[in-house]
């Protein structure tokens, strides 16, 4: 029996380690788009859209705004697919389990990498379906990996948060491809290698992950994977609390002995004030991040006056800061959990305490986004180093805070659906990045100043959410005081 337990621990550790590598390298690759654009421009993708124009003093200039617009559209569609398909992919995962979801995700990811590998400047339009397939495959990698936290009991949230940060850091994959390209290795070879890595994903699927889901809480005799034989059949009540949804952070296991209280329905949650303000909070900040990533290359071109070495230097700096996402992600969790273990006021519920703790997290995330947006607006090249740092910190706060708030503000039985709906609706809102880019390239003659100012003002709406939660908590405190005095 001790040998069996030790084998399980080794398997759990291997599952965790390989899952972390998978998230760190593959699960958010599309967000390293700025590095890949540099390579694609060097290769001449969409170069037919560059036209000769007459500049100052009758000089001939090359206007590549049409090329930049196409690259922006590729990223807009891919980032939209990444978020919008979270909801149907979540239902696929819930209904058919880990193996089916991963096999589907692996097939999409492999097809996407092969399409990029065999694309050419003459077939530049292949980038549209290729990046979209990569994005959908990414989200399925994330979904099937976050449940690994259920294997580690009290460390569950730490592992889930770490995985979320690893997803943010995985955007550095395209930076590595850029460095390899500069060293003489073709990006076709790099993407063929990524396609071959699908063998590793398949091995993890069959040997280190369950066919169905990893339950929470974990039964003592739970086994999974081919090497441990068939895992025990789980009841609906057990699987209901598993970690099979993106970025789950709730900690309370199900207990059949506790009376079931009347929970809000899914429709009541969606129609609530909390959900509306939270959706706005996520959407405006996500739009700012997507527009920044999608337009980084033309922005650097403008600030460096087209100097290739400087563009490459700042693109590398941006990619390097993305690696720090895995380090930044747990900070927000510490803010959210700072009240855990401390005595609560008499009559104060755990949910109320969690909501009150979330106010600071929601406020700091919005504040960080405003500062990041202001720095991105100022057309001073050295300041962009600070912009890159603020961007990666704010992005890790945004997505971790999104999942954390949903888990404490709404019934856990609706967590997956609400997260999926939030990401899907915010994806629709993020489509505004393309008309913003078209506005800059058209009427504004390439100057994004007014668009950046407008987005910064739009972000101020995000402060409504923490204010609303704060006022709600204050009302609950006042009601409790009135009851105590009566």
Exposed / middle / buried, residue 314 (Cβ in 10 Å: 0-12, 13-18, 19+): buried
Q: Concatenate the DSSP letters of all residues of 99-163 into one string.
A: HHHHHHHHHHHHHHHHHHHT--GGGGGGHHHHHHHHHHHHHHHHHHHHGGGGGGGGGHHHHHHHH
- Strand pairing class (60-63; 51-54): antiparallel
CA 167 to chain centroid: 7
pLDDT of residue 336: 74
Q: Looking at the DSSP assignment, which residues form a beta bridge with residue 53?
A: 61
pLDDT tens for residues 303-361? Answer: 888 788 888 889 888 878 877 777 777 787 777 777 666 776 666 777 778 788 889 98
Give the residue among 378, 392, 381 at the shortest CA–CA distance from 310.
Answer: 381
Q: What confidence tier does 237 reach under pLDDT thresholds 50, 70, 90?
A: very low
pLDDT tens for residues 156-209? Answer: 666 776 787 788 788 788 888 988 998 999 989 999 999 999 999 999 999 888
Q: What confidence tier does 118 reach under pLDDT thresholds 50, 70, 90?
A: very high
Q: Which residues of 75-84 are buried (b: 16+ CB within 10 A; e: fewer)?
A: bbbbbbbbbb
How many CB atoms within 10 Å of residue 145? Answer: 28
pTM: 0.70
Residue 448 DSSP symbol: -
The answer to whether residue 250 scores a pLDDT higher than 50 is no
Spatial separation of the C-alpha atoms in residues 337 and 343, rounded to whole Å = 13
3-state secondary structure of 51: strand
């Amino acid at each position: 029996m001790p040998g069996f337990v030790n084998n399980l621990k080794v398997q759990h550790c291997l599952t965790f380690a390989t899952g972390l590598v998978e998230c760190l390298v593959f699960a958010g690759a599309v967000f390293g788009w700025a590095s890949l654009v540099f390579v694609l421009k060097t290769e001449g993708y969409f170069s037919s859209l560059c036209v000769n124009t007459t500049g100052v003093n009758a000089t001939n200039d090359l206007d590549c705004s049409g090329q930049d617009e196409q690259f922006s559209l590729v990223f807009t569609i891919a980032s939209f697919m990444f978020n919008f398909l979270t909801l149907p992919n979540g239902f696929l995962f819930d209904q058919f389990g880990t193996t089916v979801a991963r096999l589907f995700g692996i097939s999409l990811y492999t097809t996407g990498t092969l399409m990029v590998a065999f694309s050419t400047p003459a077939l530049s339009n292949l980038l549209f379906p290729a990046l979209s397939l990569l994005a959908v495959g990414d989200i399925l990698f994330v979904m099937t990996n976050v449940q690994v936290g259920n294997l580690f009991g009290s460390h569950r949230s730490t592992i889930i948060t770490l995985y979320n940060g690893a997803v943010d850091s995985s955007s550095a994959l395209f930076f590595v491809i850029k460095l390899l390209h500069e060293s003489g290795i073709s990006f076709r070879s790099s993407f063929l290698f990524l396609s071959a890595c699908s063998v590793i994903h398949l091995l993890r699927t069959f040997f280190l992950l369950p066919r169905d889901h990893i339950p929470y809480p974990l039964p003592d005799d739970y086994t999974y994977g081919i090497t441990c034989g068939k895992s025990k059949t789980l009841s609906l009540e057990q699987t209901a609390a598993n970690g099979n949804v993106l970025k789950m952070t709730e900690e309370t296991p199900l207990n059949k002995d506790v009376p079931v209280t009347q929970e809000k329905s899914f429709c009541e949650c969606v129609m609530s004030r909390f959900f509306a303000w939270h959706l706005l909070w996520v959407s405006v900040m996500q739009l700012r991040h997507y527009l920044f990533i999608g337009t980084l290359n033309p922005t650097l071109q403008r600030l460096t006056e087209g100097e290739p070495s400087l563009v490459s230097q700042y693109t590398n700096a941006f990619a390097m800061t993305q690696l720090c996402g895995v380090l930044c992600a747990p900070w927000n969790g510490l803010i959210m959990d700072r009240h855990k273990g401390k005595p609560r006021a008499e009559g104060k519920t755990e949910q109320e305490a969690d909501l009150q703790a979330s106010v600071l997290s929601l406020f700091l995330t919005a504040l960080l986004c405003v500062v990041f947006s202001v720095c991105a607006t100022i057309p001073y090249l050295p300041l962009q180093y600070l912009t890159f740092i603020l961007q990666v910190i704010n992005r890790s706060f945004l997505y971790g805070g999104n999942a954390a708030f949903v888990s404490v503000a709404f019934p856990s039985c609706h967590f997956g659906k609400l997260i999926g709906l939030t990401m899907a609706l915010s994806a629709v809102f993020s489509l505004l990045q393309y008309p913003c880019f078209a506005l800059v390239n058209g009427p504004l003659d390439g100057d994004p100043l007014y668009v950046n100012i407008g987005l910064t003002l739009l972000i101020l709406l995000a402060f409504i959410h923490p204010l609303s939660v704060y006022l709600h908590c204050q009302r609950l405190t006042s009601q409790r005081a009135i009851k105590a005095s009566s």
